[in-house]
Amino acid sequence: MSEAVDLFLELAAIPSPPGEERGVADVVLRYLRGLGLEPDEDDCGERIGSTAGNVYARVEPTAEGTPIFLCAHMDTVPPDGELAPIVEDGVVRNSGGTILGGDNKAAVTAMLEGVRRVVSEGVPHAGIELVFTPKEEVGLLGANAFDHDRLDAQIGWVYDQEGAMGEVVLGAPWSRALEVRFHGRSAHAGMAPEEGRSAIQAAAKAIADLRLGRVDELTTANVGTISGGTAGNVVPEWCTFLAEARCHDEAKLADFVQEMLDAFSFAATETDCDVETTMRKSYDGYRLKRDEPAVALAAAAFARCGIEPRYGLSGGGADANVFNERGRRCVNLAHGVFGFHTPDEHVSVADLERMVDVTVALAEAARE
């Protein structure tokens, strides 16, 4: 097997749910030092509740051109089974009945192996910076904590879009998270139900009044968890649920979130309960144009590797959202991984190796 496959199998076998990225960070640091680079790890781990900070490394330029940065995240969604990656019929899967971790360890592999080739083969380039972040899956926390002023490069890429290689993501949504807590009054459900006010009933009414799922071509909404009550014979005093809304139009998102808040207030009034809602920004969205350098270079790199570039929008957030918010133009690229966050997650050996080629091609295109 190729060095890329060996590295990916090593990374995929390491559990790294959000906050437990130490094992992956150690492999990344070892690999970068083996290339003769001087990587460092910042101190954000303690601040964001992780065993690892952001890992940063710089490859000094050897030619004129445009400096670039590459970013991948070291965490995965939590696995619920054994991590036992295998190669079958040219495809890497996990035989343990849970995620593979190709999101985002396939990207970590492609970037590390791509830089290895640039260094070992003496490929001329205008400077490459690498950033590997923790806790991306729970709110882009590592990227938010990274000191973006460290970057000389103004343009870069993440590989964090599911699907066939070649897709260049031109935009991602704005997202808001809401924690909604209803407060009623407890009472014995059999002896004195009229004395109680059910917080679960209030929450159920609120959720029933929400527009959920794909609301329209720009907007999605979801209620992900709900909890409340103490026993089957007690009218529940408390009920809490977590919701989110995403939209590719920031102003439209604000209106939609207000619609949700109004539904919560109406449900509280109808059930004679109180409601408290805490809202936070998950991330801000962005839109890129096809003729922007970061987009054009991505298309050129895919074309160099014989891959027809395609353009689309993402329904999710990635570290690219943070870089764009901080003034660095960052493009998300599909890297051949399918089945994100599921036991069916997989990537072909051919695509894993071709993303190494794409990484080298990005450095070459930026030099030119």
Identify the active-site residue in 136, 162, 237, 325: 136
Mean pLDDT confidence for 22-36: 98
pTM attached to this predicted model:
0.91
- Phi, psi for 247 (deg, rounded to 5): -155, 145
Query: pLDDT at position 367, please?
Result: 94
CA gyration radius, the chain: 23
User: What span, in angstroms and rounded, lies between the C-alpha atoms of 68 and 360?
Assistant: 12
Place of tokens 């070459």: 364
Topology of domain 175-283, per CATH? Alpha-Beta Plaits (3.30.70)
Angle at which helix 3-12 crosses helix 22-34, to 10 degrees, equals: 160
Place of tokens 């290689």: 165
**What percentage of the chain has pLDDT greater than the value 70?**
100
Closest by Cα among 349, 362, 361 to 109: 349
CB count within 10 Å of CB 335 equals: 32
- Phi, psi for 30 (deg, rounded to 5): -60, -45
**Segment holding 289, helix H or strand E:** none
Asked if residue 1 has pLDDT above 90, the reply is no
User: What span, in angstroms and rounded, lies between the C-alpha atoms of 142 and 41?
Assistant: 11
Angle at which helix 102-120 crosses helix 349-367, to 10 degrees, equals: 50
Question: Is 75 in the active site?
Answer: yes
Amino acid at 364: E
- CB neighbour class for 359 (10 Å; exposed up to 12, middle 13-18, buried from 19): buried
Per the CB < 8 A criterion, the answer to whether 221 and 210 are in contact is yes
Handedness of CA 355, 309, 163, 53 (dihedral sign): positive
Q: Which two tokens stand for residue 161?
A: 């879009």
- Phi, psi for 64 (deg, rounded to 5): -75, 160
CB count within 10 Å of CB 13 equals: 16
Question: Is 136 in the active site?
Answer: yes
The domains of the chain are located at 3-172+285-367, 175-283
Amino acid at 208: A
- In tens, the pLDDT along 172-226 reads 999 999 999 999 999 999 999 999 999 999 999 999 999 999 999 999 999 999 9
Identify the active-site residue in 20, 21, 75, 103: 75
Superfamily of domain 3-172+285-367: Zn peptidases (3.40.630.10)
Residue 358 banded pLDDT, cuts 50, 70, 90:
very high
Query: pLDDT at position 368, please?
Result: 81
